[in-house]
């Protein structure tokens, strides 16, 4: 008599792994980034993948120039930073990517909300959605781990095919593992 063994479900994949899966599925090969605690895992995981090149930056607007240059050279990139870094990069985004209709995909982690422990993150973090709306930048929130891969792929395709700036906004709930997120 053979024992029946119930199938073992694989543990859920982290949002960071599925984010990278979605970026790779959209043909992204380069990830310029500014150091950020939530993005540290993304960068570490990306460095383990043969198809991705990480590029550390010193300033956010430097990343805009590199990402735009890569896209002009036929490479797809996703610029990664935290919400307050968007404030540093807005002029470069508006005067280069938007004005010239060069696709720019950004992965931006949420800062400045409830539970924030760094006071300097609060002002721009709270204003980010309104600032992006005022600039007519499409902002796609990542709130549920089950949808991260597909949402990421679709947002990337939107940026690259429509030659727009698109922000993938990694919400605090996703980062902390709430509302479907797996930390």
CATH code of 102's domain = 3.40.50.970
Whether 12 is covered by a domain: the verdict is no
Read off the tokens for 140. 């796609």
pLDDT for residue 174: 86
Whether 56 is covered by a domain: the verdict is yes
pLDDT in tens, the chain (183 residues): 555 554 556 556 789 999 999 999 999 999 999 988 889 999 999 999 999 999 999 999 999 999 999 999 999 999 999 999 999 999 999 999 999 999 999 999 998 887 788 888 888 888 999 999 999 999 999 998 899 999 999 999 999 999 999 999 999 888 887 544 443
Whether 16 is covered by a domain: the verdict is no
Tally of domains in the chain: 1
pLDDT for residue 12: 62
pLDDT for residue 163: 97
Whether 23 is covered by a domain: the verdict is no
Cβ–Cβ under 8 Å, residues 79 and 106: yes
pLDDT for residue 19: 97
pLDDT for residue 181: 41
pLDDT for residue 11: 52
Residue appearing with tokens 């709306």? 133
Instruction: Give the whole-angstrom CA distance, residue 3 versus residue 5.
Output: 6
Instruction: Give the whole-angstrom CA distance, residue 178 versus residue 115.
Output: 14
pLDDT for residue 51: 94
Whether 69 is covered by a domain: the verdict is yes
Whether 21 is covered by a domain: the verdict is no
pLDDT for residue 117: 84
Alpha-carbon dihedral 62, 68, 70, 75, rounded to 10 degrees: 140
Domain range enclosing 146: 31-176
């Amino acid at each position: 008599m053979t024992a029946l063994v119930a199938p073992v479900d694989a543990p859920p994949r982290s949002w960071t792994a599925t984010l990278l899966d979605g970026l790779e599925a959209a043909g992204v090969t380069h990830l310029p980034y500014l150091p950020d605690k939530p993005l540290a895992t993304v960068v570490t995981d990306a460095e383990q993948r043969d198809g991705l090149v990480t590029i550390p930056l010193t300033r956010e607007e430097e990343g805009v120039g590199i990402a735009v240059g890569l896209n002009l050279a036929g490479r797809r990139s996703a610029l990664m930073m935290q919400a307050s870094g968007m404030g540093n990069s807005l002029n470069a985004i508006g005067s280069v990517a938007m004005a010239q209709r060069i696709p720019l995909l950004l992965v931006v982690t949420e800062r400045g909300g409830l539970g924030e422990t760094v006071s300097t993150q609060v002002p721009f973090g709270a204003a980010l959605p309104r600032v992006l709306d005022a600039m007519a930048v499409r902002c796609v929130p990542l709130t549920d781990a089950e949808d991260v891969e597909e949402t990421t792929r679709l947002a990337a395709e939107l940026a690259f095919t429509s030659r727009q700036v698109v922000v993938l906004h990694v919400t605090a709930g996703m980062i902390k593992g709430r509302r479907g997120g797996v930390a």
